[in-house]
Amino acid sequence: MARPRSEEANAKILEAAVGLLFEKGLDGFTIDEVASRSGVAKTTIYRHFSSGNEVLVTALDSTIRPFPTPDTGTLRGDLLEFMEVVVPIFASAQLRPLMLGLVGAAATDTELFRIQTAMLTERTMPLRTIIDAAKARGQLPDSLVFEEAFDFIEGPLLAQWIQRPETLIDIDIERLVDRVLAALAA
């Protein structure tokens, strides 16, 4: 009979993986180094994770606090609360190179692309709930496609994140949300 997975080992693996990512980036990330830093055998790591890529993405994912699913009764209120959590993630100078590296690596690595897609699907669930609630309240048309709404909501952040990340530090979230709402109403 297989031994149960150790939560302590899992925590050590993720702690070592996060430290390694922040110290050496994606290029310096190896399971050998995670094993060395964590004191957990590679065989144990692979009992907890199906691949090195899964360790990498899980470690990245663990550095980002969960996105909220606010229910203030208005789309504007929900988006303001949502953006209060999301904008600091986009503005993080520590996470930016790691996330850009993941996007680049996922472009050529099918396993990383699959894992990244699953991570992004999970990350968009709160926003999907916000949009569905706004439709149910009559604040958005039923015909609005979620992907289009998502592009209007996170597109401006993504553009700044890639081209002018320094502008995210002092971004006026209320102004951003009001512009998003104007775009969604058009």
The reply to whether 42 and 103 lie within a common domain is: no
Does residue 123 lie in a domain region?
Answer: yes
Q: What is the CATH number of the domain that holds 179?
A: 1.10.357.10
Rounded Cα distance between 145 and 139, Å, is 14
- Cα distances (Å, whole numbers) of residue 62 to 11, 58, 107, 164, 171: 11, 6, 22, 25, 25
Q: Which domain holds residue 37?
A: 7-61
Least confident of 13-27, 44-58, 89-103: 89-103
Q: What number is the average pLDDT over the span 25-38?
A: 93
Residue predicted with more confidence, 147 or 4: 147
Amino acid occupying residue 42 = K
Mean predicted lDDT score pLDDT of the chain: 90
Number of domains in the chain: 2
Does residue 2 lie in a domain region?
Answer: no
pTM score, whole prediction: 0.80
Q: Which tens digits make up the pLDDT trace of 102-137?
A: 888 889 989 888 888 888 888 899 999 999 999 999
Contact between 58 and 31 (Cβ < 8 Å): no
Phi, psi of 63 (to 5 degrees): -85, -10
Contacts of 124 (CB under 8 A, 6+ apart): 150
